[in-house]
Structure 1
Amino acid sequence: MRWKLEPAEVTWTAVRAQGAGGQNVNKVSSAVHLRFDVPASSLPDELKAQLLACADQRITQDGVVVIKAQSHRTQELNLQDAMQRLHALIAQAAYVPKARKATKPTRASQKRRVEGKKRAGVTKALRGKVDW
Structure 2
Amino acid sequence: MLHISSHVLIPDSEIQLHAMRSQGAGGQNVNKVSTAIHLQFDIKASSLPPFYKQELLRLRDSRISQDGIITIKAQQHRTQERNRADALERLCLLIQSVAIPRKTRRATKPTKGSQTRRIDSKKKQGRLKALRGTIE
Letter in 2 for 1:43: L
Matched, 1:39 2:55: no
Q: Which residue of 1 aligns with 2:26?
A: 21
The structure with the larger Rg is 1
Q: Which residue of 2 aligns with 1:71?
A: 76
Identity %: 53
Q: Which residue of 1 aligns with 2:61?
A: 56
Q: Which residue of 2 aligns with 1:128?
A: none
Unpaired runs of at least 5, structure 2:
105-136
**Pairwise CA distance, 1:8:** 1.1
The TM-score with structure 2 as length reference comes to: 0.69
RMSD between aligned residues: 1.8
Moved over 2 A (4+): none
The TM-score with structure 1 as length reference comes to: 0.71
Aligned residue for 1:89, secondary structure, equals helix
Letter in 1 for 2:21: R
**Pairwise CA distance, 1:96:** 1.8
Deviations 1:43-84 (A, max 9, x none): 011110100111100001110000000000000000000000
CA distance in 2 between counterparts of 1:51 and 1:61 reads 11
- In the comparison of the two structures, how many residue pairs are matched? 100
Letter in 1 for 2:81: E
CA distance in 1 between counterparts of 2:16 and 2:24 reads 24
